[in-house]
Amino acid sequence: MNSLSLVSIGGVAGTLTRYGLGEIFPNDRTGTLIANIIGAGLAAALLVWMERRGITQLRLLLLPGFCGGMTTFSAVTAQSLEPIEGGFVFLLQNIIFSLLAVILILPMARKVIPVRK
């Protein structure tokens, strides 16, 4: 399967997941924040998993496809420009919590996911 198809299929699945999170968390800002935290943490774990298992074919499907479709930087940007609920604070929350997810999950994934021999 070519690269464009893999990213597209993953992107559709990630976008549908983001839509589902929006249904669970109807507040736009909460849904966006949760999607970004989950997407960043999942991307960190997937990077370790693919690196340790030598998997390259799924990289396009899962990282720029699924995780890219689920995370929503454009929504963060638009919602940060809205004056309600502190736009700049919302931007900082997304950046800090997403980075914290990666900082916490990356070392855990490295301990849990064994290297393929």
Q: Which domain holds residue 39?
A: 3-112
Q: Is residue 117 part of a domain?
A: no
- Look at residue 98 and tell me if it is in a domain: yes
Which of 109, 94, 102 has its CA nearest to residue 35?
Answer: 94
CA contacts within 13 A on the Cβ side of 72 = 22
61 part of a folded domain = yes
The reply to whether 29 falls in a domain is yes
CA 21 – CA 33 distance, rounded (Å): 10
The pLDDT value given to residue 85: 66
Q: Is residue 70 part of a domain?
A: yes
Domain presence at residue 74: yes
Task: Judge whether 14 and 49 are in contact, CB under 8 Å.
Answer: no
Structural domain tally of the chain?
Answer: 1
In contact, 41 and 101? CB cutoff 8 Å: yes
Query: What is the pLDDT tens value at each position of the chain, 117 positions in all?
Result: 799 999 999 999 999 999 999 999 988 889 999 999 999 999 999 999 999 988 877 899 999 999 999 998 888 888 888 777 678 888 999 999 999 999 999 999 999 999 887
Is 43 contained in some domain? Answer: yes
Q: In this structure, how many other beta carbons lie within 10 angstroms of the beta carbon of residue 70?
A: 25
Determine the Cα–Cα distance for residues 68 and 79; give it in Å rounded to an integer: 18
